[in-house]
Homo-oligomer: A and B are copies of this chain.
């Protein structure tokens, strides 16, 4: 039903975290580590418009102080449900091919948008998919590493290593979620 590009989900996730204006969202993209999304008004305002057309967000106008009007967007029930659907999709090999940034974003939003159980489920699904991916990378490496120039081989090794490290991080993150809630810094 709803087709939403990557930027749309990033916006939905941020708006779910806290209602925000286009300007607020631009600031987030330009000033935090979410810089891989464009902070240009030509990307954000049309994207918000599309989300509003699809009834995934709704704007409330703030005329409050003398400043120019702000349109503050908040999620609708439909928006929350689409966001949750996106986050909870099981991870297929296909999701891995274009990098893990989207998956990490889904995970980052998961706890607020879908709850701890969903976060844990996402991690487990991620782990399964990544293990298969590492195996296929290893195969490809075995098959081709002797024919590659040094720089290409090193670059490949970097990809393989970083995937293995990511797998370690997943195990750690799963452990965090599987331990019953416990206050930070507490001595057991």
Question: How many Å lie between the Cα of A162 and that of B164 in the bound state?
Answer: 10
Those of A30-49 within 8 Å (CB) of chain B: 32-33, 35-36
Which residue of B is nearest A37, CB measured?
B98
Question: How many Å lie between the Cα of A140 and that of B109 in the bound state?
Answer: 18
Question: Would you call A24 an interface residue if the criterion is a C-beta within 8 Å of the partner chain's C-beta atoms?
Answer: no
A33 adjacent to B140 (CB under 8 Å): yes
Q: In the assembly, how many copies of this chain are there?
A: 2
Question: Would you call A23 an interface residue if the criterion is a C-beta within 8 Å of the partner chain's C-beta atoms?
Answer: no
Q: How many residues of A contact B (CB 8 A)?
A: 38
Supposing A33-B140, A140-B32, A165-B165 touch, asked if A152 and B99 sit within 8 A by C-beta, the answer is: no
CB-defined interface of A134-162 with B at 8 Å, one 1/0 digit per residue?
Answer: 00010010000000011110111111011
Within the complex, what minimum Cβ distance (angstroms) separates A32 from chain B?
A: 6
Question: How many Å lie between the Cα of A119 and that of B154 in the bound state?
Answer: 11
Question: Would you call A112 an interface residue if the criterion is a C-beta within 8 Å of the partner chain's C-beta atoms?
Answer: yes
Within the complex, what minimum Cβ distance (angstroms) separates A40 from chain B?
A: 13
Question: Would you call A97 an interface residue if the criterion is a C-beta within 8 Å of the partner chain's C-beta atoms?
Answer: yes
Collect the chain B residues with CB atoms within 8 Å of residue A173's CB: 154, 158
Question: Would you call A104 an interface residue if the criterion is a C-beta within 8 Å of the partner chain's C-beta atoms?
Answer: yes
CB-defined interface of A35-75 with B at 8 Å, one 1/0 digit per residue?
Answer: 11000000000000000000000000000000000000000
Question: Would you call A21 an interface residue if the criterion is a C-beta within 8 Å of the partner chain's C-beta atoms?
Answer: no
A107 adjacent to B155 (CB under 8 Å): yes
Given contacts A107-B151, A111-B152, 18 further A-B contacts (CB under 8 A): A33-B137, A33-B140, A33-B156, A36-B97, A36-B99, A99-B101, A104-B158, A107-B154, A107-B155, A108-B152, A108-B156, A109-B151, A111-B150, A111-B151, A116-B150, A158-B166, A158-B173, A162-B166
| The 3 residue pairs across chains A and B that have the minimum distance between CB atoms | A35-B97, A111-B151, A108-B155
